[in-house]
A and B are shown apart, each in its own frame.
Chain A
Amino acid sequence: DGGITQSPKYLFRKEGQNVTLSCEQNLNHDAMYWYRQDPGQGLRLIYYSQIVNDFQKGDIAEGYSVSREKKESFPLTVTSAQKNPTAFYLCASSTLQGTGELFFGEGSRLTVL
């Protein structure tokens, strides 16, 4: 089945550690996105990429980094510089043409201890 796979589903981190969240898609989508979801708030865009080896900051990029070495993969690193990293992280993908509908993964919940 085509879709988006995020891993791990749950992750615990000590303060001061970097962690990397994986996102892989087999939908042949050009664009990929990382969102952060906090209770009672709408999704906020962290980073997005429309093409391999290129990515752009979203609204809340500080303390995060990404790479796009392959079309299928868009990993997100939550660095120690992110002051409030505990959240639910969602990866999404879309085509660049047509409806622009976002397809989401199942999410990764990061908890900083």
Chain B
Amino acid sequence: QQQVRQSSQSLTVWEGETAILNCSYENSAFDYFPWYQQFPGEGPALLIAIRSVSDKKEDGRFTIFFNKREKNLSLHIKDSQPGDSATYFCAASGNSNNRIFFGDGTQLVVKP
């Protein structure tokens, strides 16, 4: 059973639009939700993360909205730029172990 699901395998937006990437999870024990950004030929890198005690986390153009009751979250990328084109992995973990569960990723393309 997949622990973390991302609803879209790919997403295309125009430059300047807000890209919305959706994610859901199964395990209620998860309490930390990082998003990793991966460019071609590179390893994933932490972009932004949220703890389950919060419902929103903002960092510049990137915002996570979190709904604990529905067990879903979304990453909003405001004013998308072509340089944001990458694969975004939603992930989840709990304090009981140090395992991180990754979703399958959403490949974002921002067209100029």
Are both chains from one complex?
A: no
Residues of A within 8 A of B (CB): none
**Interface of B with A (CB < 8 Å)?**
none
